[in-house]
Every structure is written in C-alpha cells, then in structure tokens.
A and B are shown apart, each in its own frame.
Chain A
Amino acid sequence: MNTRLRPLVLVLFASLLLVIGVCRPARAESGEFASLKELANGRIGVQTGSTFDAITLRSLPQAEISYYNTYADLTEALGSNKIDGFPGDEPVIRLIAAEHDTIAVIDESMEDFEYGAVFRKNQRGSELKGQFDTWLKGVKTSGELERLTSKWIDGPEEQKTAFDYQSLPSPNGTLILVTEGLYPPMNYYRENEVVGLEIELAARFCQDQGYGLRVDVTNFDGILPAIQAGKADFSMSGITITDERAQSVNFSEPYYKGGTVMAVRKASYVAAMANGEQTTSVWDGIVQSFDKTFLNESRWKMFVEGVGTTLAITLASILLGTHLGFFLFLLCRKGGRITNAISGFCMWLLQGMPMVVLLLILYYVVFGKVYVSGIVVSIIGFTLTFGTSVFGMLKMGVGAVDDGQREAARAMGYSDRQTFFRIILPQAIPHVMPSYKSAIVDLIKATSIVGYIAVQDLTKMGDIVRSRTYEAFFPLIAVTIIYFLLEGIVNFLAGRVERISNPKRRSRDHILKGVKTDD
C-alpha cells in the first residue's frame, strides 16, 4: 500500500469504530416499553390498508408511522429494530406473542373495535345483511357465538376443529365469501384449507339459511373492491366497522368486539441483543424455520400448488401471447396507417400501464359483472402484455433482416406471403430469440402480483405461510429459490427452442434428405 495513504485509512478505520461505539449504547437504551406513554415518540409499524394508523395517532400523536404489508413483516421489523412496536387486534397480537418469545404485549387497549360482516350496497346486499343480522341475534342469545369465539381465540390449536363448508346443501344458491386468509385466528390457512372463527360463522350462517358457500381469498385491500364490484356476496375478514367504510358498503351488526393493543420487544430479548447474544444457534434457527415453513401442517403442499398455478399462468400466457403477438404482427405487417396507429396506441397503453392496474381493471371492471376466475383473468392480462412485447420483438427482428432479401424473393416470383414465411421470418427468429428468452423470465417474475385478484400463486402461498409462521425471511427466500428453479427450467426449454429454430444448426443429412448425391 502507498505509505502516504496509510494514515488516511487509519483515520477512517478509527472513525468507523467510533461511530459503532456511539451507536451501541443507543441500541441498548431501547428497552421494553411497559406502557403506551413510553412509546410517545416511538416508531410504529402498521399494516397497509388497515385503520391502525389513525388509531395509533389518536393515542400517540407524536409517533412515527411506517407501513408494512403483513404481520409477518411487522414481526420481522420489530425483531430487527426497524420499529419499536406495532398495533393490532388483541386476538392476533396475543397469538403472535405466543409464537415468538421475543415479543411482549402492552396490556392497554388503545381503542375498542367491532368486526362486522360486509355486504354490497344494493338491494340484494341489504337483504343478505338483514338475514345475517337476524341469524346473528339468534346465535348471540343462544350462547353459540360466545362458545365459538372462545374455541377459536383461547383454545389450543388441536381443539380448533374446522367446519366443513364445502358440501353444504344449497337450496337457495351459493354465496361467495371473500376473505384475506392471512389473519389467524379469524381466517387463515391450515393444511391447505381456510379456517378460523369467521369462516365457521359464515359457514353456520349459510347452513342455517340454506346457502352453499365458496371461499375466495384475496389481498386485504382487494376485499372492499371485490364486494363493490359484485365479485363476492359478503366478506368477513377482521373488518372494523367505521363510518368511512360504511359509506361504500353495508355493515352487519358486530360479531366480535375487542381492543387494539400494541406489540413490543421483550426486555430480555433487547438485553440479549445488546450483549450480542444469540438466543438460538443459526443452524437450529434454520432447521426450525424449515420445519415451520414446509413440514408443519404439510405446508409444502401449498407451495406445490402455488408452483402449479404460477406455471399454468406463465405457460398459458407464453403460448397465447406468442400467438397473439404473431397474429397482430401479421395484421400490421403491411403497415396501413390506421392499423399502425391503433396497434401503436394499444402497445403504448398496455406497456405503459402497471401490471397490477391492468389486472385490477380486467378483474373488477371488464369482467366485473360476470364470474371469471382470477387465473383466467391473469392469463388474459399477461397474454395481452406478453403479446405486445412479442409484437415489438417481431417488428425489431423483421426490421433487422436486410430489405434485399425481400426484393430478391419477390423478384424470383415468391408471393408476399411466401416471402414472409419462407425467407424473412426464418431469418428474423434468431434475432428475436434472445429478447424472447428474457421476456419469459420477466413474465415469470411478473406473475407474482396475481395475489391482488384472488389467485394463489407461488408468492401468495409464501405470504399465506408467512401469515402463519410470522417469519418474514425464510418463506421469502424459499419462494425466491423456487422462482430461480422455475426460471432455470423455462430458460432451458427456451434455449432448446432457440437451437431448433435456428436454420443454421441443421445437419447436412437433414438438408439433403431424400436426395441421391454423387459423393
């Protein structure tokens, strides 16, 4: 090393040590918060789309709010000192605290809340709400509601038997319940099936009223749109009754009353962190996480199902999108001004729009009135975008073929069609294949947002598992690895196609098949 640089490096190194030294005591000071008052200036994480941000600010006006998607993320954020606490409904927070020995609960209710079932704001919605309210009154007076509530909230997991709603007789038709599926003990996945207090309540209501029941699962912020668009008849998904929400949907009478409480780090965990101690060894942690993520309740089956869904959407979209793009290209090949303007506009619209927005518009607006499964809508959405990129690639690839090729073919007497299929296209495809391959990989990754329209793909399955284990990382990494494997496989297949489609890779025997040669 240059000797003149050495003092500089030493100074840098020393100041780094100093910074670390200053930071360490700061970390040690953040002990367990025994009451809400101590959190007055704290960093509070809340779930996106919930009302907890408003509740937190009412009791802690100075708090610094940040937003997370799931409780699993919140739990991880709390453990890694990104936030000082997160609020939640009491049953959930108690469950999280029981699962994690790093988390404690502040026993102060910040606000009382009531969960209500949600119906559409139209005549049928009001009728259903009427039926539900009458039924609810019945189960309240008979003590059935109380029995079920204590079974799901206080009981051990073994006693939380699932209510079989799949085979309910349906003389009055079938109702669709939309729920988040990530919210134990209210609604959650257990052994590949949605269970919970709300599911059992909905099922018993349907049973008593002569309805069949189907359960759709979607992201929390997709629930109210689904009700409004008529995609589902009602929802029970830990939805707090508020005036604001009541303006856009019909709420039933409350079926659950509880308080909002705050989760914080345990003092013992904070102390251990400050001393740099590990509560469990790294290896044990990984083994535990693996068991929780894959083996408990046979959760691996959910991953398998998710992979199937992701692959189905991807492969169908590749197949249909390629055909669509090709078909569009043939239509626009002659380059009429009007067709080009229309195709240009559609390309601009489809490629410029965020994929989530396109999917939501397709699901709630275009197919809002008819029942089309989310998988089909996803395939349609991705077919459209993949089709436009195939169109663009073909345009580029054909543009890269020298115009002399077309002239020579036409001058020999090949028709316009023959010229395109026999001369131009075979030379354009090798230009297209590299971008086609990367478009496929992009497509696989892009499908990870279909959870927004009630499709349980690989990413969504990872989220569901995360909602049970409250672990942010392990399922995420597992999902990532599976994506890598899928991309590897699809890329390999595309590589085969690339090789087969390249005319220059043909063998001599193939070229002169069926010909007697002299040599």
Chain B
Amino acid sequence: MIRIEHLRKEYSNATPLKDVNATIADGDVISVIGPSGTGKSTLLRCINQLEKPTSGKVWFDDVEITNPSCNINEVRKKMGMVFQSFNLFGHRTIIENVMLPPMELLRKPKQDAYDEAMRLLRLVGLADKALNYPDELSGGQKQRIAIARTLAMDPEVILLDEPTSALDPTMVGEVQAVIRELTKTGKTMMIVTHEMAFAKAICNRVFYMDEGGIYEDGPPEQVFDNPLRENTRRFVRRLKVLTIDITGRNYDLYDSLSRIESYCNKNQIPAKQALRTQLAFEELAEQLVPALENPEIKVAIEYAEAAEQTTLTVHYNGPAFDVILHGDELATNVLRSTAKQIEYQRDEQADLPNRVLLTIRPTN
C-alpha cells in the first residue's frame, strides 16, 4: 500500500532521516518508536507530504506521490492524520468539524454527512457534544473528536502523530481505548508513540527508528522482548529500568521526580504505585544526601509488568548506614508506608558498599 524508497529529509541544522526504506502492507498497524530526535514524526509527515522530502520516493497505491505532478490533495483525502495538538477547527462546532470536510472535499450530501458524523461521534462517545465548540472540551475529548473527524473522510491509512503526548495522564486512557477499537476495524495505521505497553498491545509491526532510518523492523514480540540489534536492546532496557544518579549535594530533586513520573506513565504503572515510588525516592534522597559526606548515590527503578511490581535499588557510598535503623523517625515511617519490603545490605568489596532494596507496596 505504501512504499518508501531512499527517503531523506534534511533541515538546515539536522538530518533526521538519512535513508528510509519500507513497505507497508494493507491492514498493517505499525508502532513507530525510538529515542527523541530520530525523525519519527518527520517520517509520518513525509508520507503525507506535509514535509517535502529532500530526496527519495514515496508510493501510495502505486502512485508516486513525491512526483511534483501528482495531485497531493487527492492523495491526502485517502490519508488521515491525527495530530499531537488535535488541531480541531476552532470556528466550527464539533458536528461541523466532523461533517463539513466530507461535504466540502468529497461532495457528500449534507444529510449523509450528518448521519455518518453522528455515528462516529457515538463511536467515540461524544454525540452529546455535537453542538459544542472545541474550546469547550477537554484534551482527551478533543483528541477523540479529531479521530472521528479523520474517520469521517473514510481514509485508507491513518497516521497518528503522538496522539496522547499532549494529554493529562488521566485522559490518556480514553483516547487509547478509542485507538484500540480502531485497530480492530482492519484499517492500515501508523502510530508514533512513547507509550510502549500500548504500542505493544495494538500493533503487528514495530519500527524502531535510530541512526537516520528504520533501525529495526519486526513484530512487537521481537522488538520489545528479544531485539536483534544493539541500539534497540539498549533503548528497550532503558524503557524498563530508570536510573538516576545523584552526585554532590546540589542535585535537582524535582527533575528526578518528573523523570520518575514520566517513566511510570510510559510503563502504565498504576497511579497509586507511581505516587508511592516518587514518595519513596524523595524520602530516601532526603535521608541519604545530608547523611553522606560526598554523596554518590545510584537509584535504579524497575517495573515488572507480569507481577505489577515496582522495585527501587539504591547503591551509595560512605560508612554503613541503614536508613531504617539510623534514619529520622518520621521519614522512616513514611518510607515504611510506601514499601512492601525494605532490605539493607553492605558489601565492603563494592564501589558503593551500601545497598537498599525497596519493593513498592502494590495497589491492592
């Protein structure tokens, strides 16, 4: 359905895509993952020509759409796109956002367009908002409408560019649920996302992007669990384990907390557990940093999906110091409340001789 050959995109200060080659078959649902700045969004935008590729060719249904004589507007009617920032038309009501494009672009009769629009609004659960304006809706609702608007054009392919990245964590679920429903209809889809668990659950193919191209292309079981190539392996491991290093007294607590938060989001750790993880980290850091002369602390956070269990492993230097025995009583009580189990060990041979292993108390 889509064939990409030697696609290259240069900007004045960067070259995100050096040489991309891929063939996308009818009915494929592809998750595009990879570190930031590796051209995931650029790839999507080159496919529908929102960005003009520097060189290379893209075919869609055997039409070369990178050819200047190709009427790109006709091609785009068959390629829906969902944006990170929703981009609903602010001057139109919800129903108009969904029904006017088919009327204006596909000459659909008004009644048909309306009926179809209402069907789609019911599908995304927002039929009662038909006469509201986009700015009266929450982010999650807006994105569901944006998906309905794309579906109204009945496209052959849907490109989703980080559809949940701009949403509050509480609204991610509703949008993911709609997308999940969509994958069951057999439409060809490409989705750029950072939600790995979600990506894994919905796709039949993963593009891991790195080094200016599609670095690894395979089924999700391969890419997520047994990656063939080195960069993929490192990326997937980084997704699973978060490490935070504290060196010196002047460390940024809030930056660390927000990294934990986004790690928890990515791995879909239940909200209560995520909160406890942050609390445990904060209490540990507040205890250890003042107690050590030249603090050097390594924290590793890991979430085991099967057991739904989060563990914090903390290594640090200095003389023997057990946070539970030697720590401040109030802080210790807080720590205890977050944890199912806390273990302290000392290994004189190691670089950082002290070790605390803390298992976060599960949600229920």
A positions within 8 Å CB-CB of B: 402, 404-405, 407-415, 418, 422-423, 426-427, 503-504, 508, 511-512, 514-518
Contacts and interface: CB of A to CB of B under 8 A. Distances in A.
Contacts of A412: 76-77, 80-81, 101, 105, 149-150, 153
A409 B50 contact: no
B85 A404 contact: yes
A418 B91 CA distance: 15
A412 B80 CA distance: 6
Contacts, number: 76
B75 to A, nearest CB: 8
A184 B297 CA distance: 99
B118 interface: yes
Contacts of A415: 73
Contacts of A413: 73-77, 101, 105, 153
B191 interface: no
B87 to A, nearest CB: 4
Top 5 A-B pairs, shortest CB-CB distance: A408-B87, A413-B77, A404-B87, A503-B91, A413-B76
Given A407-B83, A412-B77, A514 B110 contact: yes
B131 A511 contact: yes
A518 B118 contact: yes
5 contacts: A411-B76, A412-B101, A504-B133, A511-B95, A514-B110
A426 B118 contact: no
B89 A511 contact: no
B111 A422 contact: no
Interface string B90-119: 111101100001001100001100100010
A511 B93 contact: yes
B327 to A, nearest CB: 50
B104 A418 contact: yes
B91 A504 contact: yes
B89 A405 contact: yes
Contacts of B133: 504
B354 interface: no
B157 to A, nearest CB: 12
A413 B79 CA distance: 9
B359 interface: no
B48 interface: yes
A474 B159 CA distance: 72
Interface in B213-243: none
A402 to B, nearest CB: 8
Output the residue of A407, A411, A426, A518 with the most chain B CB within 10 A.
Answer: A411
Contacts of A405: 87, 89-90
Contacts of A516: 111
Given A412-B153, A504-B91, A515 B114 contact: yes
Contacts of B81: 408, 411-412
A516 to B, nearest CB: 6
Contacts of A409: 89
Given A404-B85, A503-B91, A411 B111 contact: no
A411 B48 contact: yes
B104 A422 contact: yes
A430 to B, nearest CB: 8
A427 B95 contact: no
Given A412-B153, A427-B90, 16 more contacts: A404-B85, A407-B83, A411-B76, A412-B101, A412-B150, A413-B73, A413-B75, A414-B101, A415-B73, A422-B104, A427-B91, A504-B91, A511-B95, A511-B96, A511-B131, A517-B114
B43 to A, nearest CB: 15
Given A410-B50, A413-B73, A413-B77, A515 B83 contact: no
A265 B75 CA distance: 87
